[in-house]
Amino acid sequence: MPSTKALIPLAGSERALRSGSKLIGPANPKERVEVTVRLRSRNKKQASADKIGSLQPLKRHYLSREGFAAAYGAAPADVTKIKAFAKKNKLAVVAVNPAQRHVILSGSVKALSDAFQVKLMEYEHAEGNYRGRIGRIHLPSELVPVVEGIFGLDNRRMARPHIVTAERSGASQATGASSYTALEVAQFYDFPTGLDGSGECIGILEFGGGYNPSDLTTYFSQMGIATPSVSSVSVDGVNNSPGDPQADPEVALDIEVAGTIAPGAKIVVYFAPFTEQGWVDALTTAIHDSTNKPSVISISWGYAEGEPVQGFEWTPQAVQAVNQTLQAAAAMGVSVCVASGDNGSSDGINDGLAHVDFPAASPYALGCGGTKLTAADNKIRSEVVWNQNGSGGGGGISAMNALPSWQTGIVPPSVNPGHQAGRGVPDVCGDADPSTGYQIFYDGQANVVGGTSAVAPLWAGLLARVNQKLGTPVGYFNPLLYSNVGESSAFHDIIKGNNDTTGHVGGYSAGKGWDACTGWGSPDGANLLQAFSPGNGS
């Protein structure tokens, strides 16, 4: 391996082994790998997402995707530098996307290891074997100011679907009183009527599995709804591939809930690898998609932040890339709804501490938590925090994302030792308990499912209706939510329950106002529309 004397570590690229990993041996030096090189923006002074998000939607001025790319995309000179680096190190340039600020390079494991001064090894793990690295990526000094992240060298799994079947939770599979259609949930939450999302596009991110058009036709026929327009976009070579028993229910749930709430909207599903590279590439592809132009994006997948002592699962460079892309979404008027997780305050990490799920924990995402809802006679009879049989709505305080100014004085410190301040999750919630779950259809069968996976597309469909009525996208509205909308009649405040699903993490309890179980509460759709209408707030 060449000398590292002239190379400098790339900030934020630190990687540690996943806990429980077992070394298999060196990666195949001849294996071909594609990596995403993320470049800096040509303009450091991007419009403030928080400033945009504090305004009423009708008072905002959004950038077009073309306008954003021209103002904040990658500079041609920076792309030229990467091309020169690739040529010198015997790497091929596969693609260049200035709007996404990405250059895709391809090379053998040996060539990439030499170019970035990393040692790639194969590891065995219960969640799937992976190619990993330890430490940081290195670059020539002239590229350090240019490059913000390099993704794809490590391909460990970084995405989990946030869906729970009624069978897995121990809940009854029976329909009727123990489950609802998405239309019924929309009625319980008083979604604005006479609207179907026409003129909007809902983008859905998926990291595995797929959908059968025949299943969708059957489902929407049973709902008495015309099947919406559904198409897919391949990211990094991953396509719509039904047949995965874990991922297929997620894909079906996302499409069927969003499509039921907003059947007039175009639905575009972005399929990507379940890696950090997949996250960065899928999100940038969807946000910057100048063909489909989604105004709302639903994400029902995520992964725990991890623990600083053991090494965060998410690298700082990936968190930065996701946050920057979500800020770009704010500038272009795109709302991004993200499920907060189905493992309560532990988020599935068994170290006795509380954790949150990313990217729900991004300040620029709308984190969607979960409740247990019971209704009768088309009315909500009770709604409490979802916490049942070891599953429950994720929520808590981020260890990787700082406390936003708009959460100051509202969000308490973490329950973990040291009581760190950080971004509080979730922002909103909705029915998620599979015992009061959603009726869906996939792989030729009817099923009942729950999880915060259902809440993200539920909110996406609601926002598509609101966008249609307003005639402009709601976009990013977290600052507005925390300044006045959250405490208005636009929400049902959830005041009972907690999200300590393990019984020993501590977790968080529901209470009046915002809490780290259900955020501001579940929606009253008609009142939410009114809160975003002229004459309300700033």
- 416 with 484, same domain? yes
Domain end among 126, 151, 176: 151
At residue 350 the predicted structure's pLDDT band, cuts being 50, 70 and 90, is: confident
- 206 with 120, same domain? no
* Domains in the chain, number: 2
Q: Do 513 and 492 form a contact (C-beta atoms < 8 A)?
A: no
**Active-site residue identified among 13, 295, 435, 453:** 453
Looking at the DSSP bridge assignments, the partners of residue 102 are: 38, 97
Which domain covers residue 102, as residue numbers?
A: 7-40+75-151
| Catalytic status, residue 250 | yes
| Catalytic status, residue 398 | no
**Active-site residue identified among 200, 236, 254, 433:** 254
Of 501, 498, 502, 489, nearest to 518 by C-alpha is: 498
pLDDT above 90 for 189: yes
pLDDT tens, position by position, 91-139: 999 999 999 999 999 999 999 999 999 999 999 999 999 999 989 999 9
Does residue 116 fall inside a structural domain?
yes
Does residue 489 fall inside a structural domain?
yes
pLDDT tens, position by position, 318-346: 999 999 999 999 999 999 999 999 999 99
pLDDT tens, position by position, 451-501: 999 999 999 999 999 999 999 999 999 999 999 999 999 999 999 999 998
- 444 with 407, same domain? yes
Q: 481 CB contacts (<8 Å, ≥6 apart)?
A: 427, 428, 520
The confidence score (pLDDT) of residue 309 equals 54
Q: Which structure tokens are listed for 246?
A: 């874990």
Domain end among 98, 127, 151: 151
The confidence score (pLDDT) of residue 352 equals 87
Does residue 62 fall inside a structural domain?
no
Lowest mean pLDDT among 71-75, 308-312, 330-334, 433-437: 308-312
| Catalytic status, residue 254 | yes
The confidence score (pLDDT) of residue 44 equals 81
Q: What mean pLDDT, rounded, does the chain reach?
A: 93
- 133 with 191, same domain? no
CATH of the domain at 442: 3.40.50.200
**Active-site residue identified among 78, 200, 250, 313:** 250
pLDDT tens, position by position, 145-187: 999 999 999 999 999 999 998 654 444 443 344 789 999 999 9
- 276 with 203, same domain? yes
Query: What is the longest distance spanned by two Cα atoms in the chain?
Result: 73
Does residue 52 fall inside a structural domain?
no
Report the C-alpha gap between 362 and 481 in whole angstroms.
15
- 103 with 187, same domain? no
- 336 with 456, same domain? yes
Domain end among 151, 175, 205: 151
- 317 with 457, same domain? yes
- 369 with 436, same domain? yes
pLDDT tens, position by position, 244-262: 998 999 999 999 999 999 9
